[in-house]
Amino acid sequence: MAKSTTELKELDLGALVDELRATKQEALNLRFRNATGQLDNNAEIQTVRRQIARINTFIRQREIALAEAGK
């Protein structure tokens, strides 16, 4: 399921993009389950949204580091 912050820090840019794609798919599935009344714990949606934001932050950090290295 969701990776911890320390595990995310160790991933390269490509792996982070793949993880982002998988996490967004998980968020979509949770929204559908919520809409159909099959979701028992609504807090899962917020957890996944925060995970997406965390992954986006790490992706942006990698992009900035690459841009700085290229100067």
Provide the residue range defining the domain that includes 19: 5-70
pLDDT at position 28 over 70: yes
Cα distance between residue 10 and residue 5, in whole Å: 9
Amino acid 47 reads: T
The domain that contains 55 carries what CATH number?
1.10.287.310
Closest by Cα among 58, 61, 62, 64 to 20: 58
46-68 mean pLDDT = 95
Cα distance between residue 35 and residue 19, in whole Å: 24
pLDDT for 1 equals: 59
Total domains in the fold of the chain: 1
pLDDT at position 4 over 80: yes
37-58 mean pLDDT = 96
3-state secondary structure of 41: coil
**Which range, of 1-5, 22-26, 46-50, 57-61, averages the lowest pLDDT?**
1-5
